[in-house]
Structure 1
Amino acid sequence: MSAVGFLQQFMKEPRTVGAVLPSSKYLAQEMIASIDFSKAKCIVEYGPGTGVFTKRLIESKHSETILLILETNAAFCWELKQTYGHIPNVYIINDSAEHVSYYVRQHGFAKADYVISGLPFTSLPADVSTRILEETEKTLGEQGAFITFQYSKVKCIVFKSFFEQIKVKRVWQNVPPAYVFTCKKGLNI
């Protein structure tokens, strides 16, 4: 999808798209930097938009690793299916991240190893954000990580109510610059 198409989707659904341009390759690299692809069996991605992170996940994961992609925007979902729908063990689902545990179980896993999120938590309704974070915390394995980015640190306190350890890194090479939050349940990050 072109930058114009992305902007059109933002204007159509600003609460769920959350940005006027796709994420940069630098932000994508930082989003996947802490994933141990040699051990990951099930990775979930929320709100991939045009698939900037999706592309990096597919390039880096083992062929047998399951990648579940949850996207509510029908236009983005269609684009993702056209680009990545033919790849084995990549499942593109037009649904909300609120239902992540259902899809993880449906694909034969008790827990996910990593959840990567492009969701704009600052613009989502508070009750939706809470349900997504509850489901994410419940769906992640004990050693799992929830990795998300935001354009401010406003939601850090909310993330801390679900995850004990949070590492924050600023990525300046993105428009606008973004913060990457790597969140874990345990005490060692």
Structure 2
Amino acid sequence: MNKLFFIIQSITNPKKVGAIFPSSGFLGDRMVEGVNFQKAKVIVEYGPGTGVFTEKLLINRNPQTKVMLVENNKEFYLLLKEKFKREKNLFIVHGSAENIGKYLKEYHLPNPDYVISGLPFTSLPKEISQGILLNTCKILSKDGQFITFQYTKLKKAFIEQFFTKVEVKRELRNLPPAYILSCSVDKQMEEYDGIKSTYCG
């Protein structure tokens, strides 16, 4: 049912969804394998869609860990609200990841340890992608990580402008195969790749 719902949304909102099929469980496992669930106090997910990655986060998290989902598609947002209505310490927001700082303040949440993203940066307008990535590196905790996936490496150099370290893995058991990018910021650096650390520190 979720797969059919996802396909319908991908056809009606191709630029926002960015894929024809939902992510596989294999990709979900790879996206969260680097998360320290015992120490993480706050985890944010951008563009959870039907909740493939969300389920992995909720199953593995410490019960006290707070999870925030930011979904811009209203149909997916309503689906997530119903699907996870019994979950505690879960906050589901209908809005844009560009406003993540605002949402964290509204729910009185500290800087997240991890931001997991299913957003299609290849199809998003450049200015929106810039806003999302810039605000993400600002709100990450000191040793926080931004973990995203893309179907090509076309946006790797673009993403590297905002993060000092980007590690790439590949998951072939997804349709289509995907690259997982694990990104972090050295907030002690004064300047890198033309972007001042004062923006992200």
> Do these two structures clear the TM 0.5 threshold for a shared fold by scoring above it?
yes
Q: CA deviation at 1:4?
A: 2.3
Residue 43 of structure 1 aligns to a residue whose secondary structure is strand
Matches within 5 A, 1:33-112: 33-112=33-112
Contact 1:50–1:76 (8 Å) recurs in 2: yes
One-letter amino acid of the structure 2 residue matched with residue 99 of structure 1: N
Contact 1:85 1:92 in 2 (8 A): no
Confirm or deny: 8 A CA contact 2:42 2:110 kept in the other structure: no
Root-mean-square deviation over aligned CA pairs: 1.1
* 1:46 to partner: Cα distance: 0.2
Q: Answer yes or no: is the 8 Å Cα contact 1:47–1:118 preserved in 2.
A: yes
Q: Which runs of 4+ in 1 moved over 6 A?
A: none
- The answer to whether the Cα contact below 8 Å between 2:3 and 2:22 also exists between their aligned partners in 1 is yes
Shift of 1:159: 1.1
Q: Structure 1 regions of 5+ residues with no counterpart? A: none
SS in 2 for 1:35: coil
Q: Which runs of no fewer than 5 residues in structure 2 stay unpaired?
A: 188-201
Q: How does 1:1-189 map to 2 (within 5 A)?
A: 1-186=1-186
Identity of aligned residues (%): 43
SS in 2 for 1:143: coil
| 1:110-138 Cα distance to aligned partner (Å, 9 max, x none) | 41110000000000000000000011010
Instruction: Please report how far the alpha carbon of residue 104 of structure 1 lies from its aligned counterpart in structure 2 after TM superposition.
Output: 1.6
Residue 106 (structure 1) shift? 2.4
Once the two structures are TM-superposed, the CA of residue 102 in structure 1 deviates from its matched residue by 1.2
Structure-1 separation of matches of 2:85 and 2:155: 33
Alpha-carbon shift at residue 40 of structure 1 (Å)? 0.5
Count of matched residue positions in the alignment of Structure 1 and Structure 2: 187
Q: C-alpha deviations, 1:155-189, integer Å up to 9, x for none?
A: 111111110101100100000000000000139xx
Rg (Cα) greater in structure = 2
Q: TM-score, normalised by structure 1?
A: 0.96
Task: Please give the alpha-carbon distance, in whole angstroms, between the structure 2 residues aligned to 1:3 and 1:184.
Answer: 32
